[in-house]
């Protein structure tokens, strides 16, 4: 059965109004990440959040990995300002939050203005205070005051890839129309190689459908561009998936690299999209060596009430002795027979304009990628 | 269960002492660092199993709107 949205109710705080109707409000231009948070709150991706966290919720998320009312929540969604910007604001005020890139126009009802401790926040969410960690660096760059309160999205503009951008309300309807009762979600930031395909298809074998949900947004130099990732998946789905068993839609949100905590956050978002299962691989949402390879598996033990079932996978590899794609749970052979699906190696070959071996990446997928003049972020 | 003192966030519940002793033994060497954390875990598990309710239906208007968009985007035939 399709899970209820997280917290019980799908949040919908998107009320179409002309920004001119609220032109009198103090206006603040925010960055694109915050604007995307607002869209995700308004459209129910972050249900049950109706706005940016107030102090009690933040403290509870930090200490207990739950909102004040006990609902699991692991990544704080915060709106920061500096003292100068908010000197004329007080609790109870309304302000307009805008962003040029996304066209977001939204109202914030300020419930609370408060400060926070950056070290505590970084340590709890990222498990480190090392400023080389991009999440910790972001926390250190945050301004000192936080504004908590409900948001109302008035308007946002049509953007690239919107034809792939479904809201939780839409995916829930779509899954119902397709007759899917059990849906597994797969998150990705890369074009699919054979190892990804095996993970997805192994999970799909036990449920009704797969929801492929690439994260779209800011990437680092050398990463595949968003349009390459989407085109690569379109190709894979066209040639190697049953149309009635797979759906792809994007998710616009920034990666936090918070490892285990972010794995829970990712699962919650997919629950809101209507998924019953969520695939967690090795070092999910990790970076460098900050988290153990399977910490993102273990954290789920703390959340028996999460409402979405994690599906844990160890990496797939090709075993020359088995002559098959396998994983360490099913292959009895020594490591010398194993060939890993190296994303790095595949990328190097593609960078040189070469087609990777077909036992690493589907030929059709490689050809799709190589049709792009610039498949990598420069 | 007297470990939690924060009146706002926690409440005190009585359980039989022999049961509490059994639980204390059971959680030794596990990730649970207190009797309260274990009991909270068990109760959350029980509660989550009883809260399953069918998803609320879409309104007719919503349904038509969503269906049209999904068709236009090629998600539905």
pLDDT per position as a tens digit, A44-90: 999 999 999 999 999 999 999 999 998 999 999 999 999 999 999 99
Contacts of A68 in chain B (CB under 8 A): 9
- The candidate with the shortest Cα–Cα distance to A138, out of A90, A179, A80, is A80
pLDDT per position as a tens digit, A106-151: 999 999 999 999 999 999 999 999 999 999 999 999 999 999 999 9
pLDDT per position as a tens digit, A171-192: 999 999 999 999 999 999 999 9
| Catalytic status, residue A190 | yes
Contact (CB<8Å) A173/B58: yes
Identify the pLDDT of residue B3: 47
Contact (CB<8Å) B52/A4: yes
Contacts of B44 in chain A (CB under 8 A): 70, 304-305
Contact (CB<8Å) A1/B44: no
| Catalytic status, residue A295 | no
The C-alpha atoms of residue A200 and residue A187 are separated, in whole angstroms, by 10
Give the β-pairing of A183-188 and A112-115.
unpaired
Complex ipTM tops 0.95: no
The C-alpha atoms of residue A72 and residue A70 are separated, in whole angstroms, by 6
pTM: 0.91
How close A99 comes to chain B (CA, Å)? 26
How close A257 comes to chain B (CA, Å)? 24
- The candidate with the shortest Cα–Cα distance to A268, out of A223, A221, A307, is A307
Given a cut of 80, whether residue B48 has pLDDT beyond it is no
- CB-nearest to A307 from B48, B69, B70 is B48
The C-alpha atoms of residue A225 and residue A316 are separated, in whole angstroms, by 25
Chain B residue with the nearest C-alpha to that of A66 = B9
Neighbours of A220 (CB within 10 A): 8
- CB-nearest to B45 from A60, A169, A304 is A304
């Amino acid at each position: 059965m399709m899970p209820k949205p997280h917290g019980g109710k799908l949040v919908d705080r998107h009320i179409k109004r002309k920004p001119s109707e609220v032109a009198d409000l103090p206006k603040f231009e925010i960055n694109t990440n915050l604007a995307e948070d607002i869209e995700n709150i308004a459209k129910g991706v972050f249900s049950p959040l109706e706005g940016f966290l107030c102090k009690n919720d933040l403290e509870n998320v930090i200490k207990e990995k739950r909102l004040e009312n006990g609902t699991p929540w692991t990544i704080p969604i915060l709106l920061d300002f500096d003292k100068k910007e908010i000197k004329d604001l007080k609790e109870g005020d309304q302000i307009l939050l805008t962003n040029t890139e996304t066209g977001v126009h939204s109202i914030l009802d300020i419930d609370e203005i408060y400060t926070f401790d950056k070290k505590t926040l970084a340590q709890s969410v990222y498990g480190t205070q090392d400023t080389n960690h991009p999440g910790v660096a972001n926390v250190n760059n945050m301004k000192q005051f936080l504004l908590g309160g409900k948001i109302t999205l008035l308007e946002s503009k049509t953007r690239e890839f919107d034809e792939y951008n479904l809201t939780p309300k839409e995916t829930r309807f779509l899954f119902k129309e397709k007759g899917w009762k059990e849906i597994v979600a797969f998150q990705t930031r890369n074009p699919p190689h054979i190892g990804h395909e095996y993970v997805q298809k192994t999970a799909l074998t036990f449920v009704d459908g797969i929801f492929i949900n690439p994260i779209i947004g800011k990437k680092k130099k050398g990463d595949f561009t968003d349009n390459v990732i989407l085109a690569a998946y379109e190709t894979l789905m066209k040639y190697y998936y049953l149309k009635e068993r797979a759906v792809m839609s994007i998710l616009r949100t920034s990666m936090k690299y918070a490892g285990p905590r972010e794995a829970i956050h990712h699962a919650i978002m997919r629950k809101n999209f209507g998924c019953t299962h969520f695939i967690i691989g090795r070092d999910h949402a990790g970076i460098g060596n900050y988290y153990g390879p399977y910490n993102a598996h273990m954290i789920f033990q703390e959340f028996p009430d999460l409402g979405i079932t994690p599906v844990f996978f160890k990496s797939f590899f090709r075993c020359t002795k088995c002559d098959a794609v396998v994983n360490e749970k099913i292959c009895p052979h020594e490591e010398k027979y194993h060939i890993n699906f190296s994303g790095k190696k595949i990328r190097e070959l593609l960078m040189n304009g070469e087609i990777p071996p077909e036992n690493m990446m589907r030929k059709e997928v490689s050809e799709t990628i190589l049709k792009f003049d610039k498949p990598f972020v420069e | 269960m007297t470990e939690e003192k924060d009146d706002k966030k926690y409440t005190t519940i009585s359980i039989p002492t022999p049961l509490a002793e059994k639980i204390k033994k059971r959680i030794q060497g596990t990730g649970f660092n207190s009797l309260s954390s274990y009991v909270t875990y068990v109760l959350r598990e029980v509660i989550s199993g009883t809260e399953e309710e069918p998803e609320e239906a879409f309104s007719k208007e919503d349904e038509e709107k969503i269906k049209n968009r999904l068709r236009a985007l090629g998600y539905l035939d």
